[in-house]
Structure 1
Amino acid sequence: MPVSIRRWEPENIVFWRARGEPIARRNLVLSILALHLNFNVWMMWSMVVVNLPAVGFVLSSQQQFLLVAIPPLTGALMRIVYSSVWSWVGGGRWLGISTLLLLIPAVGVAQVVQDLTTPFWLLLAIGASCGIGGGASSSHLSNTALFFPKSVKGLAMGLNAGIGNLGVSVAQLLIPLAISLPLFGALAGAPQIWGQGAEVREVWLQNAGYLWVLPVIAVAVLCFLFSHDLPKLRLTPLDQWRMMKDVDTWRICLLYMGAYGTFLGFAAAFPLLARTLFPLEDATPYLFVGPMLAALVRPFGGWLGDRVGGGVTAIACFVAMIVATLGLFACLPTEESVGSFWGFLALCQVLFIAAGVGNGATYQLSPKVFLLKAGRSAGDDVAEAYRRGTRDGTAAMSVSSIFAAAAGFAIPETFGTMLHLTGSFLPAFGVFLLFYAACTWVAWRHYARAGAPLRC
């Protein structure tokens, strides 16, 4: 089982160099592996849903968008629990336990896709179970942040979240390959007949779930054997409630929703969105690219936030997202035009990259802002200020991660609703454009301009 540590002083340079750094790096690696698998499982459902009609499931467009939206929503709800339970159980122990929980959606998805009589409510329930993978960020990142000194928190969390987020693109890359091959033979069950137009072939949709079973077990064992439990913070929902009364929690939450919510929501919606907008184009070979780029640049966003400021970096990212969204208006199909698939694809990559950098920049704002606020109000008691700032920042990070994951539900659901109500995706992109403009103003007003009291 994980080793319990009673004394942890990452800001003490002697302690950090002699003992702290090697332990912190080991736990960072384990957290990255576990979080990566959580994102694999969280996003696998979107790759399954896009194939369900082709194998015989009868689903409307609105039902399909609801199915891909439900894992981000349940992931947000899971974060309410995950964000405090790790501080009682122990960060290392919770790494192992939460990883084993991924077996529930992995096996569940593999079972329901093999039965064409599966009712919609059960498909919705199994999709919701994939949200188990969405809870991990609020526990793994908060726990990992405590291992590192303030000077490198942004980079450490960027690496943890960035490589963890890479699980989205890995799932979107591996699942199309896995379902096209009889990887597990007769043990996995019979194939389904996939048909679209003149193309007909055998697929094994159940492999989308079975693919993760062995990696989940292996990573869980590693976490149980080699991770560490830091002194327990004993966070409770009351800590989150207390931080929800602080206006800076909501400001940071808004920025993180704009960046992380865009990454998560577009990653979930993109396979279905591309197929609906451009039915004659095969976007499958490109589905993984945007989420992969967003994940790879997230550590850069954390590093850039450490160097030039999270507020300044966030502004640059939101401006890029505004420009990309405006460009998308010209690429979408209309009654007079078939649109531009390649323009749509390129601008979506810009959105993903800007969101990825913004993820790293906005997430590292939380611990820094609340450490700064605690330091200004603590007088000469530096140790007490550090403890209070750490606790407040961790609780605020949890609140931000919950609402940002909910934004991952809002994006695909907005697409589905607008398509149903207006027959077009244009109004949905208009809503996103206004939201990015609001995020830009908040970042400039409170964390970037020269006179901002919490510029950091």
Structure 2
Amino acid sequence: MTVSIKRWEPENIIFWLTRGRRIANRNLLLSTLALHLNFNVWMMWSIVVSNLPAIGFAMTGQQQFLLVSIPPLVGGIMRLFYACIWSWVGGGTWLGISTLFLLIPALGVGWLVQDISAPFPLLLLVAACCGIGGAASSSHLSNTSFFFPKSAKGFAMGLNAGMGNLGVSVVQIVVPLAIAVPLFGSLAGEPQIWGRGAQVHPVWLQNAGYIWIIPILLIATLCLLYAHDLPKLRLTLNDQWLMMKERHTWYICLLYLSSYGTFIGFSAAFPLLAHALFPLVNATPYLFLGPMICALARPIGGWCGDRIGGGITTLVCNALMVVGTLLILVSLPGELDGGSFSLFLCAFLLMFFAAGVGNGSSYQLSPKVFLIEAGRQAKASGESIAAAYTRGGRRGVAAMSISSVSATLGGFFIPKAFGSALDWFASFVPAFMLFLVFYLVSMAVAWWQYARPTASMRC
């Protein structure tokens, strides 16, 4: 089973160099592998949904957007509980247990897609089960943050989350390949007939769920054998409730929503959006690019946050997302032309890059802001540095879990906004205009609170 650690002092340079760094890096690796797999399972549903009508499931475009919005919604709600439970069970132990939970959506998707007569509520239920994969970030990243000293938190968390987020890109490469061949033979069931226009061929859509079973069992076993449990923190929902009264918690929530919400929302919606806007273009070969760029850019955001400042980096990223949104609006099909898919794709890639860097820079604001605040309070009251560090770290983790929950809701609201705009206005333009205003507001918050020279929490 996992190893329990009684003493952990990452800010003690001797402890860190002689023992701490090796243990921290091992747990970072295991957490990253597990988080990557969680994102694989979480986002496989968006690929599955885009194929359901082609194999015989009867549903409207609004219903499709609703189905892809459910896993982010459920994942966000579950993060409230995941953010606490790991601190009671133990970070390493929870890595293994939470990874085993992924068997539920993997088996559920593999079973459901083989029955085209399945009622829509059952589709919603399986979509909700896929949300289990979206809950892990709040526990994985919070646990990881405690292993590293303040000077290395940004990069470590950026690497953890970035390589975890890369699972969104990997799933968009792996699933289309996996469903095209009978990987498991007769064990997985009969193929479905996929038809769209003149294209008709067999697919094994159940493979989208079944291919993750062996990796789930393998990674869960590695975590249970080799991960570490730090001293129990005993975080509770009350810790998060108390942090909801802090104004900086909500500023950081807004900024993380603008970046992570963009990433997860557009990752879920892009396959349906591209098909709806450019039906003559096969966008499948490009689906992985945006999430991959976003995931690889996240460690850059963490590094920039450590070296340049989280506020300044986040400000620049929101400015780039404003530019990207404007370019998308220019690329959309109009009454007189069919639009430009090339410009549409490039603009989205810019959005994903900016969101990726912003993910790293905005998320690391939570531990830093509340550690700075605790240090100032300790200096004024005479509290010991060790006690202030513990208190500031605990508050920072609680704030991180809240921002993680709020940002995940972007994965619900973005696809839902596209579906509602299509239903109400027969156009996606109102949704993009709403996002544009939001990025401008986020720029203002980043500048005033964390980037301007006279900001009280410039970091």
TM-score (norm 2): 0.99
Corresponding residue number in structure 1 for 2:277: 277
Look up the match of 1:14. Answer: 14
Q: How many Å apart are 1:231 and its aligned residue?
A: 0.4
Q: CA RMSD in A?
A: 0.5
- Is 1:66 aligned to residue 66 of structure 2? yes
Deviations 1:228-251 (A, max 9, x none): 000011000000000000000000
How far apart are 1:421 and its partner, in Å? 0.3
Structure 1 position 414 matched with structure 2 position 431: no
Partner of 1:77: 77
- In the TM superposition, residue 402 of structure 1 has moved relative to its aligned partner by 0.4
Distance in 2, Cα, partners of 1:391 & 1:208: 39
The residue that corresponds to 2:258 in the other structure is 258
1:204 alignment partner in structure 2: 204
Is 2:174 the counterpart of 1:137?
A: no
Distance 1:158 1:385 in 2: 24
Deviation at 1:356, TM superposition (A): 0.2
How many angstroms apart in 1 are the aligned matches of 2:337 and 2:238? 54
- Aligned counterparts of 1:448 and 1:58: Cα–Cα separation in 2: 50
In the TM superposition, what is the alpha-carbon distance from 1:374 to its structure 2 partner? 0.7
Give the aligned partner of residue 340 of structure 2: 340
| Pairwise CA distance, 1:330 | 0.9
Residue matched to 1:431? 434
Q: Deviations over 1:94-137 (max 9, x none)?
A: 00000000000000000000001000000011011100000000
Of the three residues 401, 405, 410, the one matched with 1:402 is 405
User: Any idea what SS the aligned residue of 1:195 has?
Assistant: strand
**3-state SS of the aligned residue for 1:20?**
helix
Matches for 1:372-391 after TM superposition, within 5 Å: 372-379=372-379, 380=382, 381-391=384-394
After TM superposition, the runs of 4+ consecutive aligned structure 1 residues lying more than 2 A away are none
Q: Map 1:51-450 to 2 at 5 A.
A: 51-379=51-379, 380=382, 381-450=384-453
Q: 1:77: how far off?
A: 0.8
- Distance across 2 between alignment mates of 1:230 and 1:137: 18
Q: Deviations over 1:26-77 (max 9, x none)?
A: 0000000000000000000000000000000001000000001100000001
| 1:401 maps to amino acid | S
**What is the rounded CA distance, in whole Å, between the counterparts of 1:20 and 1:183 in structure 2?**
43
- Cα distance in 1 between the residues matched to 2:335 and 2:208: 37
How far apart are the structure 2 equivalents of 1:42 and 1:101? Answer: 12
Letter in 1 for 2:406: F
Count matched residues. 456
Question: What's the offset of the Cα at 1:334?
Answer: 1.8
- Paired with 1:134 and 1:365, the residues of 2 have a C-alpha distance of 21
CA distance in 1: counterparts of 2:390 and 2:209, whole angstroms = 42
Q: Deviations over 1:182-210 (max 9, x none)?
A: 01100000000000110100000000000
Letter in 2 for 1:36: H
Q: Secondary structure at the match of 1:46?
A: helix
What is the deviation of 1:333? Answer: 1.0
Counterpart residue identity of residue 216, structure 2 = V
Mapped to 1, the partners of 2:415 and 2:435 lie a distance apart of: 12
- AA in 1 matched with 2:407: A
Superimposed CA distance per residue, residues 315-340 of structure 1 (whole angstroms, 9 cap, x where no aligned partner) = 11000000010111111112222111
Counterparts of 1:350 and 1:258, CA distance in 2: 14
SS at match of 2:64: helix
DSSP-derived class of the 1:202 partner: strand
Q: Which amino acid is 1:22 matched to?
A: R
Instruction: Measure, in 2, the Cα distance between the counterparts of 1:79 and 1:426.
Output: 31
Q: Distance in 2 between matches of 1:321 and 1:234?
A: 38
Q: Secondary structure at the match of 2:51?
A: coil
> How far 1:408 sits from its partner (Å)?
1.2
Task: Give the distance between the partners of 1:42 and 1:334, measured in 2 at CA.
Answer: 34
The residue type paired with residue 436 of structure 2 is L
User: Take 1:90 and 1:195, find their aligned partners in 2: how far apart are those partners?
Assistant: 48
CA distance in 2: counterparts of 1:85 and 1:406, whole angstroms: 21
SS of 1:107's partner is helix
- 5+ residue gaps, structure 2: none
In the aligned structure 2, how far is the partner of 1:143 from the partner of 1:100? 18
What percentage of residue pairs aligned between the two structures are identical? Answer: 64
Secondary structure of 1:146 counterpart:
helix
Q: Could you tell me which of 431, 448, 452 is aligned with 2:455?
A: 452
Deviation (angstroms), 1:407: 1.3
Q: Distance in 2 between matches of 1:74 and 1:283?
A: 27
CA-to-aligned-CA distance 1:73-93 (integer Å, 9 cap, x gap): 000011011010000000000
Residues 359-391 of structure 1, C-alpha deviations (whole Å, 9 max, x = no match): 000000000000001111112321111011000
Alpha-carbon separation, structure 2, partners of 1:277 and 1:207: 28
Q: Give, in whole Å, the separation in 2 of the partners of 1:378 and 1:150.
A: 17
Measure, in 2, the Cα distance between the counterparts of 1:359 and 1:64.
27
Q: What's the secondary structure of 1:11's corresponding residue?
A: coil
The one-letter code of the counterpart of 1:276 is A
Matching residue's letter, 1:364? Q
- Which AA in structure 2 matches 1:117? S
Give the TM-score taking structure 1 as reference length: 1.00
